[in-house]
Amino acid sequence: MPKVSDEYKLNRRQQIIDAAYRCFVRNGFHETSMRDIYEETQLSPGAVYNYFRSKEEIIEGSFQFDYERSRELFKSARHSDDPLKALEELLNFLFTGLEDAARLQAPRINVQAWGQALINRRFQETMNQLFDVYLDDAAHIIGRAQERGEVDANLDSRAVARSILSLYFGLELQLALDPEVNVRNYMTVVKAILRGSFRQDSEKGQEA
């Protein structure tokens, strides 16, 4: 086979990642052998190794957050006039994305990736970077909401950011174990928390 277009190569690469993805969803990273992958790909072992240097590289290739898009949204939320509203819109985007991802069983991959991140240096760094960026942005947004008197100023803004992250990743975990989880209802709850309408006024009235 002669020289081949970059597109051809990217397609092949994607083909391998897709095949690996299906294997990983079925059997996990460790129960999936290279054999499984290249049989699923309908390629020869050598062909797979033309596109990836190792199994680990394939694993890394198989989970890709839409990092760019969400980072962008976080950034713009930082400068919004109404930080909580921007945060809500952002979460709306993220949770909707999760709903789609769940249909592709991405949570199954990602939950395994968390475990991998505890073992593998490169994974860990990627994961930490991701978390830190999100935490920083979210904490900043919360901080601004606190300045505006919209969020209890006594709360640690980073802790609030962590709780929001938990609401996201906790849902991802639950979706991994059960893809039928009703994401819409869950989102409604998250919004209620952000809006302060989770707890009813009745009691507050009593307290007042």
Partner DNA sequence: TATGAATGAGTATTCATTCAT
Partner DNA sequence: CATGAATGAATACTCATTCAT
Residue number, 56 or 72, with CB nearest to its own copies: 56
Amino acid at 58: I
- Does 163 interact with its own copies (rule: CB under 8 A)? yes
Q: Can residue 169 be called a binding residue for its own copies (CB under 8 A)?
A: yes
Q: Is 46 in the site for DNA (CB under 7 A)?
A: yes
Q: Is 5 in the site for its own copies (CB under 8 A)?
A: no
CB nearer to DNA: pick between 31 and 72:
31
Q: Is 28 left (phi over 0), alpha (psi -120 to 50) or beta?
A: left
The two tokens of residue 167 are 């609401």
Residue 176: CB minimum distance to its own copies, A: 6
Compute the distance between CA of residue 191 and CA of residue 161 in angstroms, rounded to an integer: 15
From the CB of 145, what's the least distance to its own copies, in Å?
9
- With CA atoms as reference, report the closest residue to 33 among 14, 11, 48, 12: 48
Please give the C-alpha separations between residue 145 and each of 79, 117, 204, in angstroms, as whole numbers: 11, 33, 22
**116-135 residues near its own copies, rule: CB under 8 A:** 116-119, 124, 127-128, 131
Residue 94 lies near its own copies (rule: CB under 8 A): no
What is the residue type of 116?
Q
Among residues 55, 78, 85, 191, which is the contact residue for DNA, using CB under 7 A? Answer: 55
Question: Does 45 sit near its own copies (CB under 8 A)?
Answer: no
- Residue 125, number of CB atoms within 10 A of its CB: 11
Q: Which among 198, 192, 204, 184 has a CA at the least distance from the CA of 84?
A: 192
Question: Of the ranges 12-20, 53-61, 65-73, 183-191, which one interacts with its own copies (CB under 8 A)?
Answer: 183-191
- Our finding on whether 200 is near its own copies (CB under 8 A) is yes
Residue found under tokens 């991998």: 116
Q: Which of 10, 18, 26, 33 binds DNA (CB under 7 A)?
A: 33
54 binds DNA (CB under 7 A): yes
Residues in contact with DNA by the rule CB under 7 A: 1-4, 8-9, 12, 32-35, 43-47, 49-51, 53-56
